[in-house]
Structure 1
Amino acid sequence: MIERIVRIGSANGLHARPAKFFTKAAADSGVKVTLAKAGGKPVNAASILAVISLGLGNGDEVTLATSDDSAGAALDTLVALLAADHDLPVADTATSATPVAV
């Protein structure tokens, strides 16, 4: 069994948008992965409903696990998604547009 422990990086926790990124990557990995909040029951990492039901907030510690001993790289990718802050503001393209000469 391989496990990784990571803290949730998104400023507003693992809400719908970052959970969507994470669960899609978990499903696309082709590896059965579980996610558990510290001291909690593991859930299927590819299920958005199960992941959101954990109520994970910024800084919460979670454990990713798989019984596939060759899935270390897949877990590392998922760890990076959980650790990233998906709530960072996006650059405002309306105010940074290049002026057009008339």
Structure 2
Amino acid sequence: MITKELTIKNEIGLHARPAALFVQTANKFLSDIMIKKAGKTVNAKSIMGVMAMGISKGEMIEIIIDGPDEENAISAIEDLINVKLLES
């Protein structure tokens, strides 16, 4: 199991298109991937769950990944949050 705290840096947070990209990335992996913020935890593979979190720029989230490809999953999610979402 991997647990990592990440800060959302893109202007609109994880709303609409960025949330969809996050969910698409999470769904590429077999591992269970969860997002935790302020005591609430949702499945990162669910667009409704991610959108319901209302994650804005500057907020810290905890990513919890458990499964056979967790190392690859955390790398892809970190790259998405720290690089790809900032480019769009």
Answer yes or no: same fold by TM over 0.5. Answer: yes
What's the TM-score, normalizing by structure 2? 0.85
Matches within 5 A, 1:8-27: 8-27=8-27
Aligned mates of 1:60, 1:85 — CA distance in 2: 17
**8 Å CA contact retained: 1:34, 1:45:** yes
Which residue matches 2:35?
A: 35
Higher helix share: 2
**TM-score normalised to structure 1 length:** 0.75
Deviation at 1:80, TM superposition (A): 1.9
Structure with higher Rg: it is 1
Alignment match, 2:74: 75
Unaligned runs of 5+ in 2: none
Partner of 1:51: 50
Change (3 A) 1:3 1:69: farther
Partner of 2:3: 3
